[in-house]
Chains A and B, each alone.
Chain A
Amino acid sequence: MAAAPAQPKLEVEGLTIGFGETIIQHDVSFRVEAGSVFAIMGGSGSGKSTLLKALIGLLKPMQGSVRFGDEDYWAASASRRAEIDQGLGVLFQSGALWSSMTLAENVALPLRMLSRLDRASIERLSAVKLSLVGLAGAGDLMPTELSGGMVKRAGLARALSLDPAILMLDEPSSGLDPVTAKRLDDLILELRDGFGMTIVMVSHDLPSLFGICDDGVFLDADSKTVIAHGAPRQLRDECDHPSVHAFMRRERPDVDRAGSRSAP
């Protein structure tokens, strides 16, 4: 019944990422179980999206490994990395739809470039992907004609284009109203259950984190490393680290739990 052969899992070990001489995060380690929804959490500027870039091959880490199954992504050859990339679907924060193409063309392009399917099959598959995300009949629209929620869903349809085993989502619910965000969360779960995908999600949207994530890591901007592991709900209820506590309960870290402000 599995939708994809041999579900790969993702394992990150001792990862250090940064730009030039600036280290964004160091010694990041975690393991994503097959079929789970894994959250990369943290405040603004903590390096969540940068970490995601290292996972999807856009930023070479300074140190450490990213393993898909038994294969070290960054130790693999460029051609092998390209093959691994085809097993990853990515939804970018802004949608990143190709603005000169219609939605149908956006979804069809990966299949056109990376498969030998005939034109009719590609068109049918693209229509199915758009239909799965609730955009049936919208294939002729241009990205500029879409609302924020539609852009996210179209980006999701494109991410599903090659039936990826792992879906990487960068802030999927950012900029959406609560109802639209909830619909998108439900859709992500439906797609996970339907296709049996593993999902890695970068987010700081608390309702989404509590609603759909089974596991996760919390990145800290000050110590520049992972300061907590676990499901977001579990971290909310059990983690005592002040930064995690403040984040999960939407409190100011400079105000102690009794309500008085700490000295500057």
Chain B
Amino acid sequence: MTAKTESRKCEAEVQGSTVLLALSGDWVARTDGVDFGVVEQAIKPGVRALRFDTVKLGHWDSGLIAVLAGLREASNKDGVVFDEEGLPGPARRLLHLLSTPPATARRRLQTTGLDRIGLWAIAALAECVEGAALVGNVFLRGAVALRGRAALRAKDLVEAMYDAGLAALPIVTIVSLLVGGILAFIGATELSKFGAGVYVADLVGVGMVREMAALMTAIIMAGRTGGAYAANIASMESGEEIDALRAMGIPIFDYLILPKVVALSAMMPILYLYGCLVGIFGGLCAGAATLHVTATSFLVEVHKSLTGVQFGLGLTKSLCFGAFIAIISCRVGLRAKRSAAAVGAAATSAVVIGIVGVIALDAIFDLCASVLGI
């Protein structure tokens, strides 16, 4: 009796309790596909042995090996003798090469839902402790650095300050100019409805100095510099560069993190002041264009509206935002896993946490200022 399988390249001839599989034609996976139906066609109840005829077999590749491996596995499972005598020698070699999964599979922690909540809570607590330690280190090592006793290299600090300061000026200029202009346009549209157009200058001045200059500069720096810090440290982590520092006893905090925190904390207030000036100029341009106010009257009105306390609030905000962005970015970079994908993930996390954190901090500042009547 001859029973044909669905495959046009495999004929199954039943000889008593033995099935002879005649394989012919090309068995190239990429072009001809892989026919795993052969396994079900060949291994049937009552079959005791499986033999092969490959005289007419053409070209083959791993597709054939995959099918033979499936046949062998099914044969072993059903107690069928897998007689590989008729197979080509190279195919037999490859079949022998196929390994089986280790009996002692790699052990993974078996956890329940409650376990996972507990593990998450412990990890969150550990993260808080690590974060607090990092903040504490900023003050401790910062004080040591001020006395000139930290392993802080002046060259690294200058480079970090350039990167976080001067190199960021173009983007801060553009964004501050536009934000100042937007505030003026909104003010001109709404305030002129009831003849209060002159107060556009107050809106721009107070808005930039008290709020927008610090906030927008921080958001820019979280995206630009915070992401770069995290990616830089994560890439060092994946390249075992940080392990090399640790192994040689070089304090990672002084060498790697302190320059970044000091640089960003120092540069942010300067960028804030610069952002205020550019923003007010942007508001002046927009105000002059829409309300035809003179530069002198605009600046006089701005001057009247501003107080030293408002500048102080803005400066404090910018200093805290800078330190926050630097610390968070470095922390995210340090806890990154060791892979190329982790570098991208660290940069993304640093930017997201940085921006959300800055906005949350800003809200806290405003709440406190409101309570204090500032």
* Binding-face segment, A41-49, A115-123, A172-180, A238-246: A115-123
Q: Knowing A99-B340, A193-B93, A195-B90 are in contact, say whether A131-B99 is a contact too (CB < 8 A).
A: yes
Q: Is the interface of A mostly helix, strand, loop or mixed?
A: loop
A124 touches B338 (CB 8 A): no
Indicate whether A128 reaches chain B with its CB closer than 8 angstroms: yes
Indicate whether B36 reaches chain A with its CB closer than 8 angstroms: yes
Indicate whether B69 reaches chain A with its CB closer than 8 angstroms: yes
For A136, give its contact among B63, B99, B339 (CB under 8 Å). B99
B30 touches A124 (CB 8 A): no
Give A117 Cβ to nearest chain B Cβ, in Å: 6
Chain B residues near A190 (CB-CB < 8 A): 93-94, 97
Indicate whether A132 reaches chain B with its CB closer than 8 angstroms: yes
Chain B residues near A3 (CB-CB < 8 A): 59-61, 90
Q: In residues 105-133 of chain B, which contact A (Cβ within 8 Å)?
A: 105-106
B98 touches A128 (CB 8 A): yes
Q: How far is the CA of A99 from the CA of B57 in the complex (A)?
A: 39
Q: Give 21 A-B contacts (CB < 8 Å), ordered by A residue.
A: A1-B89, A3-B59, A117-B33, A121-B66, A124-B70, A125-B66, A128-B66, A129-B62, A131-B98, A131-B99, A131-B100, A132-B94, A132-B98, A132-B99, A134-B99, A135-B99, A163-B29, A163-B62, A191-B97, A194-B91, A194-B94
B342 touches A196 (CB 8 A): no
Q: How far is the CA of A133 from the CA of B70 in the complex (A)?
A: 17
Residue ID in chain B nearest A186 by CB atoms:
B97
Give A180 Cβ to nearest chain B Cβ, in Å: 15
Residue ID in chain A nearest B337 by CB atoms:
A144
Chain B residues near A137 (CB-CB < 8 A): 100-102, 105
Give A29 Cβ to nearest chain B Cβ, in Å: 31
Give B156 Cβ to nearest chain A Cβ, in Å: 29
Size of the A side of the interface (Cβ < 8 Å), in residues, is: 40
Give A120 Cβ to nearest chain B Cβ, in Å: 7
Chain B residues near A141 (CB-CB < 8 A): 106
Residue ID in chain A nearest B27 by CB atoms:
A3
Chain B residues near A196 (CB-CB < 8 A): 90
Indicate whether A262 reaches chain B with its CB closer than 8 angstroms: no
Size of the B side of the interface (Cβ < 8 Å), in residues, is: 36
Indicate whether A55 reaches chain B with its CB closer than 8 angstroms: no
Q: In residues 79-94 of chain B, which contact A (Cβ within 8 Å)?
A: 88-91, 93-94
For B69, give its contact among A2, A128, A134 (CB under 8 Å). A128
Indicate whether A51 reaches chain B with its CB closer than 8 angstroms: no
For A1, give its contact among B61, B65, B88, B94 (CB under 8 Å). B88
Indicate whether A184 reaches chain B with its CB closer than 8 angstroms: no
Give B95 Cβ to nearest chain A Cβ, in Å: 9
B98 touches A163 (CB 8 A): no
Indicate whether A100 reaches chain B with its CB closer than 8 angstroms: yes
Q: How far is the CA of A191 from the CA of B98 in the complex (A)?
A: 11
Q: In residues 1-27 of chain A, which contact B (Cβ within 8 Å)?
A: 1-5
Chain A residues near B60 (CB-CB < 8 A): 3
Indicate whether B3 reaches chain A with its CB closer than 8 angstroms: no
Q: In residues 5-32 of chain B, which contact A (Cβ within 8 Å)?
A: 28-30
Q: Knowing A132-B94, A144-B339, A193-B93 are in contact, say whether A120-B65 is a contact too (CB < 8 A).
A: no
A4 touches B59 (CB 8 A): yes
Q: Knowing A100-B339, A136-B98 are in contact, say whether A125-B29 is a contact too (CB < 8 A).
A: yes
